Amino acid sequence: MEGARPVRAPRGTTLTAQSWTTEAPMRMLMNNLDPEVAEHPDDLVVYGGTGRAARDWRSFDAMVRTLQRLKADETMLVQSGRPVGVMQTHEWAPRVLIANSNLVPDWANWPEFRRLEQLGLTMYGQMTAGSWIYIGTQGIVQGTYETFAAVAEKRFNGTLAGTLTLTGGCGGMGGAQPLAVTLNDGACLIVDVDESRLRRRVEHRYLDEVADDLDDAIEKAVAAKNERRAWSVGVVGNAAEIFPELLRRGVPIDIVTDQTSAHDPLSYLPEGISPDDWHDYAAKKPEEFTDRARASMAKHVQAMVEFQDGGAEVFDYGNSIRDEARHGGYERAFEFPGFVPAYIRPLFCEGKGPFRWAALSGDPKDIYATDKAVMDLFPDNDRLQKWMRGARSKIAFQGLPARICWLGYGERDKAGLAFNDLVARGEVSAPIVIGRDHLDCGSVASPYRETEAMADGSDAIADWPLLNALVNTSSGASWVSIHHGGGVGIGRSIHAGQVSLADGTQLAAQKLARVLTNDPGMGVIRHVDAGYEIAEDVATERGVRVPMREG
Amino acid sequence: MEGARPVRAPRGTTLTAQSWTTEAPMRMLMNNLDPEVAEHPDDLVVYGGTGRAARDWRSFDAMVRTLQRLKADETMLVQSGRPVGVMQTHEWAPRVLIANSNLVPDWANWPEFRRLEQLGLTMYGQMTAGSWIYIGTQGIVQGTYETFAAVAEKRFNGTLAGTLTLTGGCGGMGGAQPLAVTLNDGACLIVDVDESRLRRRVEHRYLDEVADDLDDAIEKAVAAKNERRAWSVGVVGNAAEIFPELLRRGVPIDIVTDQTSAHDPLSYLPEGISPDDWHDYAAKKPEEFTDRARASMAKHVQAMVEFQDGGAEVFDYGNSIRDEARHGGYERAFEFPGFVPAYIRPLFCEGKGPFRWAALSGDPKDIYATDKAVMDLFPDNDRLQKWMRGARSKIAFQGLPARICWLGYGERDKAGLAFNDLVARGEVSAPIVIGRDHLDCGSVASPYRETEAMADGSDAIADWPLLNALVNTSSGASWVSIHHGGGVGIGRSIHAGQVSLADGTQLAAQKLARVLTNDPGMGVIRHVDAGYEIAEDVATERGVRVPMREG
Ligand SMILES: NC(=O)c1ccc[n+]([C@@H]2O[C@H](COP(=O)([O-])OP(=O)(O)OC[C@H]3O[C@@H](n4cnc5c(N)ncnc54)[C@H](O)[C@@H]3O)[C@@H](O)[C@H]2O)c1
Ligand SMILES: NC(=O)c1ccc[n+]([C@@H]2O[C@H](COP(=O)([O-])OP(=O)(O)OC[C@H]3O[C@@H](n4cnc5c(N)ncnc54)[C@H](O)[C@@H]3O)[C@@H](O)[C@H]2O)c1
């Protein structure tokens, strides 16, 4: 095989590898590149700017080949999307170990990263792209749903009905926003320069319609708000122009955020450039493009701050646009908060985060069986129950059927063991893989997002995600990854991922019990260490051991 | 227990912890702080500027207490010298996982590091300080011996007899230089601002004498050179003044290097400041001190470059003084090479590096037994045989008896298994721990030192040390660590350590076989990936698997 081609993971119960322990990472690697899942599969780009699953097609082929032959006590090493070694380990060890995009800090900037990328020495792994547990836009809907629910609780008496949300960026992650707003009963206006991105979200039922032009969009969005209708409208245009224009026209917007790919200035289209010229221009004149993108982001963010001045609820949605706008010369960029300190941190203190799983069989029935298991396990968790019902009825699967819901310490292991039992009893037809986003309670250091404004000032301490990777490697995860620069871009984050296998065996049960306890346990101890009371209570009540608290 | 006190690891075969798997890290942590071993034990500083073994005494006590109670399937997590968690893992997993000094790259600079350190949130772990396998100055003598032997081979027909080496810094690492030069039959003049450092080396037989003043030092050093006598002379003074002065006087110096603690500008004394005022001044005005230190380093390095202009062999010895001098305004700083590309890289290609081990019994006889085992295993390796003889006769143990020698891929596992057999047969009285420096073939990314001038330009790629830590965690190491900033300072390196236990059990043998193959294996695959032919040959001949080379 050579070069780009459509990739689709095998379905069913026939193994192409030596066992499910290696079939699982192989199918999930392939699934990340499935045209139903990946944003630009021919370039091996899964989501989030240039987040890749493999460095190049030769590396992809070598990984598949190696996984197919790999034995149950061997481990494949992956360096930024390329397989660089196979070593003998043991059956409790991960079958794949991954390090993506990591650079020595003094060299950790976009120009040096791109130089190395062009030399063929690295790739950008984003979070779940290079760690093979991206499950399409659904992956982010739940987090986005939780965030908007928290906004509703904080400012709008628990519902977004009668509010209008303005946002930008309708890509792999950002495309979840309109659905998350409407799941919370609100109206949403979303701006993207690329019409095809908006159309794709309509196809997948994440967005209700694309307006003809700005006037049409405003009319429809404001009507929905006034009628307290859950409805989302997309409009083609550049956020750097549209946001200020909406401000100027005094459109009654209640909530403002943004998920353009601002973390990578070459993935944010500056005003005055047509989308057709985008990639050529960015490739040929990266410095000039960066300056123009930052100048546009400055205008974009200035409008956001001024919406806040006017009373709107405004937050950064994890794309580092505030720092880019600051580089672009706008001084007030950091006046609105990131979404984590504003809404998510209390969940992290309980070890809660984006737990997700996929059915290797490809059979949606398997996911429905796991849905039922989760709903049976946590009957009193109303938000979870509402989410699971909404997800099942409104969310289209992309690639291998998958599900996501936020679970905390003491919950994830229960769900994992229940899934393993379903496999053991034959109630689902093939093994399930269980992973999560790197945006989790104890797996990331990212001072403009997950660790912004920590109580003790420890935002930039990066020991935690590394310990997270090491402890998951020590607990029985199937593949473990350490990445740099996901979400907020090169230089700004260090984070770790894990995926574990429920193949119905006793060994898998032992591994799942450990990984799915220790992994969220990192979130609890990280927040205990930073002095959060909720985390201390969780540690005390649920028996999380912290040596400095012992006598 | 509270606050500073003398620490000494227990000796003998009586356990204070639950088993040797936890007794071992406990003794080695204590041994790192033994006043015989550590440079400033009261401050928990082991070596290399402020390289610490524990964040503070409370953390030290908590680690010892936790290790004493830790079960054979539990793991203690250490975040920059403080124990932050205990989690259930399994018996193949490390008992301790360590992450030291890691920062998100955009925040990875000394001022931010110091701010966080002052908040009590981090510590500087150097390499073997925070990973509990520092064995005193002996640890570096072998590497220094190898380096000077390579200098001799390259420029002086295989011997330093009749040559004079000038260097600076006679601390924990730097103190090995005079002995390494005399082991290679040369004469050495070494400058340090702190007389007590020089006296300590004389006590430990690393340095032959301390001169009365500069004139006396020059006379003695030049006499030794002229008489082709192996002899080392220390002189008290500031290298920023003495190096230029020696240049000015035209002293016939053949080789110039330096190991002051230049990697941390607060650990380098600028000219015009007395050693007594050093720490106060640095603590009170860190920015001003930094500027003055860099200005002095500029003069210091200028003299080195001008010695090179005059024909001397000049190299940077891994303390990042070139970059500091550049910051200090000296443009030609990078005109002399680092010691790794100049002398060490070919060894790295074979997976060679600073293999070391310590006898937990405290009994020197145990080390003598292992010395014999190593010499029996590799009878044809002349350099090794010569080193082992020299080490045994000239090197004083500090703390628990220990040994170091450079071994490569296919050699380390043999030695490890031989040691495990000695323990099993009772030929040594207690278990042996086997580790290494982080300055090893595949465990470090450090563009001014270990990965300077890589053939493919991949100097700054930091995936490799992370994969190294993950694979050692997957192979049965006893404790594994990931550090930032060792050797060359904050911002400039990422590196990993491992220590494994030979307790005579079958399980230990299986673990040692894997760790001591995979760990140097990382060096081989890292250099194969970068295109080094020696590494490709080693991979082919010794069967190291690299997926991109398979069909
Ligand atoms: N908050 C979170 O949980 C979270 C999680 C992951 C990623 N992110 C971040 O969110 C951002 C979006 O991720 P994604 O996967 O959707 O990226 P993506 O690249 O798939 O989509 C980005 C979209 O922005 C559009 N865009 C670019 N410039 C624009 C402009 N000037 N005006 C309007 N639209 C513009 C693009 O056309 C594209 O559709 C990234 O920065 C990512 O790192 C956030
Ligand atoms: N090449 C290697 O293999 C290797 C390995 C580890 C560390 N290092 C680096 O070598 C350096 C030395 O390490 P160390 O453990 O010996 O450090 P140390 O702090 O124990 O010793 C440094 C010595 O330099 C002296 N010094 C400081 N400023 C001086 C000046 N202006 N003039 C003369 N002497 C001065 C100090 O008095 C001290 O004795 C560090 O930068 C370290 O990171 C190199």
Mark yes or no for CB contact A458/B119 under 8 Å: yes
Say how far apart CA A510 and CA B499 lie, in whole Å: 26
Instruction: Assign B86 a pLDDT band (cuts: 50, 70, 90).
Output: very high
B238 is in an annotated binding site: yes
| Cα A91 to Cα A14, A72, A331, distances in angstroms | 22, 6, 54
- Which are the contacts of B471, defined by CB distance < 8 A and separation ≥ 6? A75, A77, A85, A87, A89, A97, B518, B519, B522
Q: In sequence order, which ranges of B49-127 are alpha helices (DSSP H)?
A: 57-69, 110-118
Ligand 2 proximity of B477 Cβ (cutoff 6 Å): no
Q: Please list, residue by residue across B445-466, b when 16 or more beta carbons sit within 10 angstroms of its beta carbon and e when fewer do.
A: bbbbbbbbebeeebbbbbbbbb
Cross-chain CB nearest to B463 (options A79, A119, A464)? A79
Say how far apart CA A410 and CA A513 lie, in whole Å: 10
Output the six-digit token pair for A245.
């224009």
Ligand 2 proximity of B259 Cβ (cutoff 6 Å): yes
Contact between residue A20 and residue A12 where contact means Cβ atoms under 8 Å apart: no
Active-site entry in A170, A349, A405, A441: A405
Say how far apart CA B235 and CA A457 lie, in whole Å: 44
Q: Name which of B351, B328, B326, B322 is nearest B453 in CA terms.
A: B322
Distance of CA B238 to the CA centre of its chain: 24
Residue B301 Cα to ligand 2 middle (Å): 15
Say how far apart CA A305 and CA A310 lie, in whole Å: 9
* DSSP single-letter state for residue A96: E
Q: Are strands B187-192 and B402-407 parallel, antiparallel or unpaired?
A: unpaired
Mark yes or no for CB contact B467/A65 under 8 Å: no
Residue A43 Cα to ligand 2 middle (Å): 48
* DSSP single-letter state for residue B311: T
CATH 3.40.50.10730: which residues of chain A? 138-336
Say how far apart CA A140 and CA A146 lie, in whole Å: 10
- Give me the long-range contacts of B43-46 (CB less than 8 A, separation at least 24): B43/B4, B44/B81, B44/B123, B45/B129, B46/B126, B46/B128, B46/B129, B46/B134, B46/B172
Helix and strand numbers (H, E) in chain B are: 19, 17
Output the six-digit token pair for A433.
């893989």
* DSSP single-letter state for residue A343: I
For B174, the 3-state DSSP assignment is coil
For the cut 90, the answer to whether the pLDDT of residue A2 exceeds it is: no
Determine the average pLDDT of the residues in A436-450: 96
Search chain B and give the residue with CA nearest A108.
Answer: B105
Q: Are strands A96-100 and A479-484 parallel, antiparallel or unpaired?
A: parallel
For B19, other C-beta atoms within 10 Å of its C-beta total 14
Q: Which of the pair, B2 or B178, is modelled with greater confidence?
A: B178
Q: Which of B58, B100, B470 to mutate to test the interface with A (most CBs of A within 10 A)?
A: B470
CATH 3.40.1770.10: which residues of chain A? 1-36+54-124+344-551
Q: What angle do CA B312, B318, B319 make, to 5 degrees?
A: 105
Residue in A145, A173, A300 to alter for ligand 1 test, most ligand atoms within 8 A of Cβ = A173
ipTM here: 0.89
Determine the average pLDDT of the residues in B502-524: 98
For A269, other C-beta atoms within 10 Å of its C-beta total 25
* DSSP secondary structure letters along A129-160: TTTT---STHHHHHHHHHHHHHHHHHHSTT--
Say how far apart CA B473 and CA B489 lie, in whole Å: 25
Which numbered atom of ligand 2 lies nearest the CA of B197? Answer: 39
Residue nearest to atom 38 of ligand 2 (CA): B171
For A200, other C-beta atoms within 10 Å of its C-beta total 18
- The pLDDT of residue A140 is 80
Task: Please identify which residue in the block is written with the tokens 């040390």.
Answer: B465
Residue B442 Cα to ligand 2 middle (Å): 24
Q: Identify the architecture of domain A1-36+54-124+344-551 in CATH.
A: 3-Layer(aba) Sandwich (3.40)
Q: In sequence order, which ranges of A378-478 are alpha helices (DSSP H)?
A: 382-394, 412-424, 463-473
Shortest alpha-carbon distance between residue A547 and chain B (Å) = 6
Say how far apart CA B133 and CA B402 lie, in whole Å: 10
Q: How many Cα atoms occupy the beta-carbon half-sphere of B310 within 13 Å?
A: 18
Mark yes or no for CB contact A470/B493 under 8 Å: no
The amino acid occupying position A141 is: V
Instruction: Assign B143 a pLDDT band (cuts: 50, 70, 90).
Output: confident
B138-336 adopts what CATH topology? Rossmann fold (3.40.50)
Q: Name which of A149, A183, A185, A181 is nearest A166 in CA terms.
A: A181
| Cα B357 to Cα B43, B135, B138, B354, B441, distances in angstroms | 25, 9, 11, 10, 17
Say how far apart CA B336 and CA B60 lie, in whole Å: 41
Which residues of A fall within a CB distance of 8 Å from B463? 79-80, 99-102, 122
pLDDT in tens, B450-490: 999 999 999 999 999 999 999 999 999 999 999 999 998 99
Q: What is the mean pLDDT of chain B?
A: 96
pLDDT in tens, B24-78: 999 999 999 999 999 999 999 999 889 999 999 999 999 999 999 999 999 999 9
For the cut 80, the answer to whether the pLDDT of residue A169 exceeds it is: yes
For A249, other C-beta atoms within 10 Å of its C-beta total 10
A327 is in an annotated binding site: no
For the cut 90, the answer to whether the pLDDT of residue A324 exceeds it is: yes
Mark yes or no for CB contact A90/B475 under 8 Å: yes
Task: Please identify which residue in the block is written with the tokens 């401050």.
Answer: B43
Contact between residue B503 and residue B423 where contact means Cβ atoms under 8 Å apart: yes
| Cα A225 to Cα A211, A490, A542, B439, distances in angstroms | 16, 38, 43, 62
A268 is in an annotated binding site: yes
* DSSP secondary structure letters along A15-61: -SSSSHHHHHHHHHHHHHH-TTT-SBGGGTEEETTTEESSSSHHHHH
Ligand 2 proximity of B317 Cβ (cutoff 6 Å): yes
pLDDT in tens, A143-165: 899 899 889 988 999 899 999 99
Which numbered atom of ligand 1 lies nearest the CA of A321? Answer: 41
Say how far apart CA A244 and CA A263 lie, in whole Å: 21
For A6, other C-beta atoms within 10 Å of its C-beta total 10
- The pLDDT of residue A181 is 96
- Which are the contacts of B176, defined by CB distance < 8 A and separation ≥ 6? B137, B138, B140, B141, B143, B144, B206
- The pLDDT of residue A1 is 66
Output the six-digit token pair for A272.
């005055």
For B196, the 3-state DSSP assignment is helix
Mark yes or no for CB contact A107/B460 under 8 Å: yes
Say how far apart CA A195 and CA A538 lie, in whole Å: 46
Determine the average pLDDT of the residues in B325-345: 95
Lining residues, ligand 1, CB within 6 Å = A 39, 47-49, 140, 143, 168-174, 191-194, 197, 238-240, 259-263, 267-269, 317-319, 439, 487
pLDDT in tens, A461-496: 999 999 999 999 999 999 999 999 999 899 999 999
Instruction: Assign A301 a pLDDT band (cuts: 50, 70, 90).
Output: very high
Search chain A and give the residue with CA nearest B531.
Answer: A121
- The pLDDT of residue A136 is 86
Task: Please identify which residue in the block is written with the tokens 């740099």.
Answer: A484
Q: Name which of B311, B330, B314, B313 is nearest B322 in CA terms.
A: B330
pLDDT in tens, A109-142: 999 999 999 999 999 999 999 999 999 878 788 8
Q: Which of the pair, B391 or B433, is modelled with greater confidence?
A: B433
Instruction: Assign B1 a pLDDT band (cuts: 50, 70, 90).
Output: low
Contact between residue B422 and residue B369 where contact means Cβ atoms under 8 Å apart: yes
pLDDT in tens, B253-271: 999 999 999 989 999 999 9
Residue nearest to atom 20 of ligand 1 (CA): A171
Which residues of B fall within a CB distance of 8 Å from A456? 119, 121
For B331, other C-beta atoms within 10 Å of its C-beta total 11
Instruction: Give the H/E segment covering residue B513.
Output: helix B506-529
Residue A451 Cα to ligand 1 middle (Å): 20
Determine the average pLDDT of the residues in B212-232: 98
Q: Is A441 a catalytic residue?
A: no
Contact between residue A478 and residue A21 where contact means Cβ atoms under 8 Å apart: yes
Residue nearest to atom 34 of ligand 1 (CA): A192
Per-state percent for chain B, helix, strand, coil, to nearest 5 = 45, 15, 40
pLDDT in tens, A364-403: 999 999 999 999 999 998 878 988 998 888 888 999 999 9
Distance of CA B463 to the CA centre of its chain: 21
- The pLDDT of residue B528 is 98
Say how far apart CA A409 and CA A14 lie, in whole Å: 35
| Cα B410 to Cα A298, B378, B501, distances in angstroms | 57, 12, 18
Cα of first residue to Cα of last residue in chain B, in angstroms, is 61
Task: Please identify which residue in the block is written with the tokens 């061997």.
Answer: A74
Say how far apart CA B537 and CA B84 lie, in whole Å: 44
Distance of CA A261 to the CA centre of its chain: 13
Residue B49 Cα to ligand 2 middle (Å): 7
Ligand 2 proximity of B340 Cβ (cutoff 6 Å): no
Q: What is the mean pLDDT of chain A?
A: 96
Which numbered atom of ligand 2 lies nearest the CA of B39? Answer: 20
Q: Name which of B344, B354, B494, B521 is nearest B435 in CA terms.
A: B354
Interface size A-B, in CB pairs within 8 Å, comes to 290
For B333, the 3-state DSSP assignment is helix
- The pLDDT of residue A141 is 87
Say how far apart CA A297 and CA A241 lie, in whole Å: 10
Say how far apart CA A195 and CA A191 lie, in whole Å: 9
Contact between residue B70 and residue B97 where contact means Cβ atoms under 8 Å apart: no
Q: Which of A87, A481, A511, A525 to mutate to test the interface with B (most CBs of B within 10 A)?
A: A87
Contact between residue B116 and residue A461 where contact means Cβ atoms under 8 Å apart: yes
